[in-house]
Structure formats: C-alpha cells, structure tokens
Structure 1
Amino acid sequence: MNVKHMMLAVFILMTMVLGACSSESSGESDNADGSKTISFIHWRGEDKEVFDKLIEKFEKENEGIKVDMTIYPSEQYQSTAQTLIRDGEVGDVFTSFPGSQFEIMDKAGLMTDLSGEEFISNFNESLLEAGQKDGKQWAVPYQLVFNQPVYNKGIFEELGIDIPESWEEFLAMNETLKENGYSPMAFPGADIGPGQLMNSMMMNNATDEDIFTQLENGETKLTDEWWVKTLSQFKELADKGYFQDDSLGTKHDGAIALMAQEKAAMLGSGSYAMASIKEQNPDMELGLLAPITVPADEAVYEGIHTTTFMMAVNKNSDTKDEAKKFIEFLSQPENASTYANETGQHLTVSDVNYESEVLKNTADWMDKETRFQPRYLINSADIEKAVIASIQSVIGGTDPEEAAAEAQKVVDQFVE
C-alpha cells in the first residue's frame, strides 16, 4: 500500500471512530436493543426497595427507557455530587439538598429549567420555593420533612410528661427522663445531629428568617446574642447529661438504634428517621416535638420543616426528555402515595393518600406554625461548616463565646 492509500485508509478509520463516538454520546441508542438508559443518583439508601419497585413499574409503562439508580452515602453526596454530574455521564436525574448545595449547582449551570413542564402542576405550589431561583424552577422538592426531635409516646405517657412549651419546661422534661433511667435524647453528634437540632434550637432565638443572609452580608455576627445563646443552650443540654455518652462519636444509625431499643426517649434528627425506628421496633408509637428555647409567650414558631430531596434534570444530559418523564412519573399521586407510605415521608405532591401510621400521627404538623430549616438558608458551604463546628465545639466543652468567636473568624473571610 503506498503512502497516499495508507493516509486515505487512516482518514476513513478516524472518520468511522469519530462517527461512532458522536452516535454514542448523542443518546439516540444507548443500549444494544435501542433503548435509552437514564442515570438516577441520590443519597437515600433507606429508600432503595421502594425505588426499585417504582423503577420497575416505570420501565413497564415506558418501554424503551431504563433507569440505572446509584445511591451514595449522604455525606459523600454532599461533597461530590457536583463533580459526579458535571459531564452529563452520570445523574441525568439527580437530587440536591436545598441551600448551599442547590446554590452550588445553580452557579455551575448544571440544572435544566423545568418551569414550563406540565408535571409542575402535580406539586403543591407553596412548597416548591426551595428549588426556585431568578423566577425559574430548577429543581422540584419531593419530600416534606420536619427537622426536629422524634419522641417515644409510650415513655412520655408512662411518666406523665406533657410536651414542653418553654425552655424551663424542656429542661424539666429532660431531667424527668434522666431520673427515670433514660438518655433523654439520642444525639448523632458525629454526623447529622448538630446540623439538624440547631434549627429548632435557634428558631425562636432569632426569629428573622433572613438571619443567615444577614450573617453572610456582615449585618449580624455569630458572636451576637442570638447565636451565643443557642450555643449556651446546647452546652447546657450536654453538661446536664441530656445527651447519651459520647454523643460526638455517635452516628445517626447508632442514635436510631438507641431510640429503637428504648434506651433514649428522643432522637435529635427529624421525621425522616421515623420509618427506620419503626422498622426496628414496630410497636413503638412516635411523635414529634421541638425544643422551645424561650418563654412560652415569646415563642413564634412551633417547629421546623424542610422541602428537600430536590429532583433536577442534568443540563448536560443527552436524555433530558426521558429524565423529565421519570420525574413526571414520580410526581403522579398514585406513585407518590406508594413512595410516601413505604418510606414514611410526607411529600410536596398534591393529592397523596397517606395511609401509614407514622404519617397519620404526624399529619397535624402540616398545619402548625413551622419555619423553613434555617441551616439550608446558608448559601456558603464554608460558613455552614463553621456554624455546625461551633455546636460540636461547645458540646465538647468549649465556652460558647469562644466557640462563636472561632466560627465568626471563618465567616469574616467570606463577608464582602
């Protein structure tokens, strides 16, 4: 073969390779059978079984579309999701926490505008705000959760404990529980506990819902009374032994086990843990309460809610239409009801039929005066980490004013 013919052959070969790569990345024929596969990633390992069931149903109803679900640990998802989905190869449908993670995804331009999609009407309009920015709907929150302590109704009834309506009553309740041999609160201080309990601990200490926006703008500081008081109350709970031993070394699964074994009367996380508790102890009757850190007549809020597990379509995906069909499927009331009742989660979808005991027992919280989770209104991930670290610091024995000052040093680096 002469040089001219060899060069021609190389050119033809390269053209064929590039053409094949182009066809593969276009999403027109992902699989050998001509079907398309969408990647669905999230952090809810406890939901795998029900998602497997729903995915099987979706694939039967939508021939030619397959769903590949990957579940990551919550902490790993928080730190790596942006990198995972950036090139569009993973996470055609991805989930986001509200707050700083959503802001990071938005600034990186990773989400597709869903504003005009028909399935948006399947959701309660008043619960979609967390996924909105600049007048557009970039993600749809799926879960409505209450980020406040879960309590064992049986123990409370046995000891004649009423739900406290002030800080003094909350402390007295904890003392009664301790005196009767219970750890008042199983606190997962090694992972999610500080970032969860902080919301109800501060909700009435700083009633302005823009407080963290003001912090990031330099209009308030963590060394001001509202945060120092919150840290002081955390320290009081720790110093009086109202958390279990080694609370800073306890992860959420361990705290759930303490609750399920009835060694602890409360769990310092949120409603999303109730299904896991019931799985380990089906006979336990559960409720929700929030610490009121002020006198009863000064309380503005009764608890905390969050619209989370926000589903978005990857802007770099080659299968956007298929991804949207999957979100539409999950937002249909029949399928949303299956998810809600098998996971014990209230949802943002309208017309969901709640049948599970857990959901019926907590449905009254949908009508209470609750506040959107303050932590998720912190846009800077670095500031959020500093805030949470200050809680862990005081539980470990640091003076509240000292811990607040250390955290403020971090905030000062990001205030414009």
Structure 2
Amino acid sequence: MMKKWVCISTMALGTMLAGCVGGSGGGNESEEGGGGEGTISFIHWRGEDKAVFDELIAKFEEENPNIQVDMTIYPSEQYQSTAQTLLRDGSTGDVFTSFPGSQMEIINQAGLFEDLSGEEFLENYNDELITAGQIDDKQMAVPLQLVFNQPVYNAGLFEELGLEPADDWEGFLALCQELKDAGYTPIAFPGSDIGPGQFMNSMMMNNAPEEDIFERLMAGEAKLTDEWWVQTLSQFQELEERGFLNADSLGTNHTSAIAQLANEEAAMLASGSYAMAGVKEINPDIELGLLAPITTEAAEAEWEGINTTTFMLAVNANSEKKEAAKTFVEFLSDVDNASTYANETGQHVTVEDVEYESEELKSTSEWMDRNTRFQPRFLITNADIERAVIASIQSVVGGETPEAAAEEAQQIVDENLD
C-alpha cells in the first residue's frame, strides 16, 4: 500500500497553533535536566478534558516538583492530520496522544514512538484492551480510553414510548418509524464532521463481519463495490430517504447533534459513548443508553456493537525529556488518577480496578462484556482510503446512488494500490 506523509507549511502551522485551546502547567521553554526533570510538553485533542487535566497536572507537579507540564490542546481534525509534523523535532509533544489507525501508522513510519515495552505501569492496564497500541509486539502507546462507537439513545424516552433497541434491520427501521410518528427525529447525524466515520462502524459490522475486511480492501482482495459496502450504503440511503436522519444532516456538526439529543428533539445520536458527558452537561436529568443498529436478520448477526481503545498515550522518541515524560504517563496510568479522569470526563478507561461513579458509566459498563468488535474504521491505515470510505457515505446521504458512490470510492482505493 502507498504510505502518505502529511505536511503543513510554516504559515499553516502557525495558524493552527493560534487556534488551539489554551495550555496549562509550567512555562513553554524546556529546561535542562538530563531527561528526568524540567518542563515537558503534553499535546492532545480533547478540549472537553481540559479541566480534569488541569487538576491532574496540578497534582502531578505537586508530587514531582522537578517536572512541570505544559499542556496544549488542538482541534481533533487538525490534530489527526498534523500531529506528526509537530512531533518531528522533539521540542513539542514529549508526551502526546494518538488515534489508532492511519494516524498511528503515519507516526510509526516516522519513527516517533518511544518503545514502552517493559515499563512497570503497563501492569495497571487490561492486557487485551491495550493491544491497539502494539506494533510488531512492542507497546508503542497505551490507549487510556475505552469508548463504544455506536449510537447513544434517550433511554427515558424509549421507556416512556414502550420501545426497546431492535435486534434486526427491519426492527430498527420500525423503531425509527415509531419515533418519527411520535414527533421525534429518530437519529441526530452529525454528517459534516464525525458522524459518517462513527456511524459506519456499527452499520457495517454485520454486513462484513470479518475483522480483516479493510486489510483485505487495502490488499486488493476486497472492493467497496462488493455487496458488503454497497449494502451498507443502501441502508444509509434508506435512513435518509425515510426521514430518519435530522434535516440538513450533512450541514450538522457534532456539537449541534449533541444538543438535539440533549434537548429531546432527537431520540438517538449517531456518534458514541464519549458524547454522553456532553449531553448530560446540557441536560443533567436525561437518561442515556447505548445501542447499535443490527443491519441483518437477528440470526445472522455476529456482533452486538463497537469498541475502540483510543486516546493513546505515547512518549516522543525525539524528546530530550523521555524519563520525565514516562513519569507523567505512569502518573496517568495510576488507578486513582485514571479513576479521576474517568469519572470527571464520563469515559471508560482501560486501566483495571477503576470504580465508575456516574449512572451512565455504570449502566454502559455492561458493554465491556458484550460481543463487540474493534472499530473497523481505525483499521484503515491509509488516510486517503479512509477519507474515500467516509466520503462515500456523505455522497449517498447527499443523494448519490450507493453503486455510484461505491464506484467513486473504489477508484481512489485502486489509485492508492497502484
């Protein structure tokens, strides 16, 4: 497959830096200290976590007075495409985070991950849940978050209307129709940003139950014009044509879609469990749950939902502060600190023995024991192919036929294979 290096100009980088969320902790200049002290740079994309990280950083600096942490937060889409550029000279991102999939592949190809294999803090994590951070049997990063990339729904509304999550496609369509007839938008779909890349996972999980489907696509052994993807696009088309997605979904961002669920205009939100805290912030009294559309007959379904281990903590291989950086990752890996992070952000984590306090985290913990598969989209390691797959969904929601959208996307796949 073709690997692509994503770069930005100095001017573009300056613009991006100006648009990032304000930092916290110590000053911006690193100090000499033999790699074990001084100021370290911590970069990530989760602006909604700033308050809890400010709290944790203050605690860390109190416990480690020779190390200060300078945190900078970037918008997620910019972070995903430009993090490797920020990391290259080692002056930024002594500790950084990575998405699985194409971003991790790009950063790894650039040699920017410090090998964390053998670090004692790895014992704090669930062995099975941190495999996403492994490359060639080496632990290059540790995913802190465990999220479920499937729709969030208004459990209180479902109970009020006597509805339950469906176990097949016809049942899901009937559920959406009942919600529509009751005056609700069945699905708030943030089609302008993260919606297509999130909702696709549960929409395709049983149409292509083989977990290596995208590996085969990138090897030329499967095509987007095959039945599994055309069927998935056809089902997106059906949701749109039957009025089960919000109006102007392709012009709706995630923030607006969250508000639609929180304000009880929509019954479901097509993103994931990580959005629940944002919904509750707007409407603290709303009762939430998770579901995944089953796109086949019940007896044919192999998977119940989608999981992702993400927000992968890593140490920059080019950093001059590796020991201090590892100390900070070790701190975040401690069960007490991971518990603070989990409960104050509404996120499940991969650290073992964390006690979840909120009702949403407790109620959705059942999904840890359900038959879920790792998010398929993050198994697309070529960024151009990933964009083509997501764009085909947007094309269909915009009115193009599934066959034509699949053909256009496959052309991009073929170009990358060449």
TM range (shorter): over 0.9
Give the letter aligned to residue 132 of structure 1. Answer: Q
Give the letter aligned to residue 96 of structure 2. Answer: F
Runs of 4+ residues over 4 Å off in structure 1: none
- Partner Cα separation in structure 2 for residue 396 and residue 51 of structure 1: 39
In the alignment, does 2:329 pair up with 1:327? yes
Shift of 1:28: 2.4
- Tell me which residue corresponds to 1:183: 185
In the alignment, does 2:32 pair up with 1:27? yes
Give the letter aligned to residue 161 of structure 1. Answer: L
Give the letter aligned to residue 32 of structure 2. Answer: G
- Partner Cα separation in structure 1 for residue 355 and residue 172 of structure 2: 34
- Tell me which residue corresponds to 2:53: 51
- Partner Cα separation in structure 1 for residue 30 and residue 251 of structure 2: 46
Question: Is the CA contact 2:193–2:254 (under 8 Å) kept in the aligned structure 1?
Answer: yes
- Tell me which residue corresponds to 1:357: 359
Q: Secondary structure at the match of 1:349?
A: coil
- Tell me which residue corresponds to 1:342: 344
Note closer, same or farther for the CA distance 1:323–1:111 as it changes in structure 2 (3 Å cut). same
Question: Is the CA contact 1:25–1:318 (under 8 Å) kept in the aligned structure 2?
Answer: no
Q: Secondary structure at the match of 1:144?
A: strand
- Tell me which residue corresponds to 1:298: 300
Correspondence for 2:170 among 168, 171, 189: 168
Question: Is the CA contact 2:236–2:393 (under 8 Å) kept in the aligned structure 1?
Answer: yes
- Tell me which residue corresponds to 2:71: 69
- Partner Cα separation in structure 1 for residue 282 and residue 32 of structure 2: 43
Correspondence for 1:266 among 227, 248, 268: 268
- Tell me which residue corresponds to 1:20: none
Shift of 1:154: 1.2
Query: Which of the pair has more CA radius of gyration?
Result: 1
**Structure 1 portions without partners, runs of 5+:** 1-23
Q: Secondary structure at the match of 1:309?
A: strand
Correspondence for 2:206 among 204, 207, 211: 204
Question: Is the CA contact 1:146–1:303 (under 8 Å) kept in the aligned structure 2?
Answer: yes
- Partner Cα separation in structure 1 for residue 148 and residue 271 of structure 2: 9
Aligned residues: 390
- Provide Cα deviations, 1:80-106, integer angstroms capped at 9, x if missing partner: 111011111110000000011000010
Question: Is the CA contact 1:147–1:373 (under 8 Å) kept in the aligned structure 2?
Answer: yes
Question: Is the CA contact 1:330–1:336 (under 8 Å) kept in the aligned structure 2?
Answer: yes
- Tell me which residue corresponds to 1:251: 253
- Provide Cα deviations, 1:184-220, integer angstroms capped at 9, x if missing partner: 0110000000000000000000010000000000001
Question: Is the CA contact 2:153–2:290 (under 8 Å) kept in the aligned structure 1?
Answer: yes
- Partner Cα separation in structure 2 for residue 193 and residue 237 of structure 1: 14
In the alignment, does 2:102 pair up with 1:88? no
- Partner Cα separation in structure 1 for residue 325 and residue 359 of structure 2: 32
**Structure 2 portions without partners, runs of 5+:** 1-28
Q: Secondary structure at the match of 2:33?
A: coil
How large is the RMSD of aligned CA atoms in angstroms? 1.3
Shift of 1:36: 0.5
In the alignment, does 2:229 pair up with 1:224? no
- Provide Cα deviations, 1:216-250, integer angstroms capped at 9, x if missing partner: 00001000000000000001001111111100000
Q: Which moved more, 1:403-412 or 1:347-356?
A: 347-356
- Tell me which residue corresponds to 2:404: 402
- Tell me which residue corresponds to 2:281: 279
- Partner Cα separation in structure 1 for residue 204 and residue 104 of structure 2: 23
- Tell me which residue corresponds to 2:3: none
Q: Secondary structure at the match of 1:379?
A: coil
Q: Using structure 2 for the length normalisation, give the TM-score.
A: 0.92
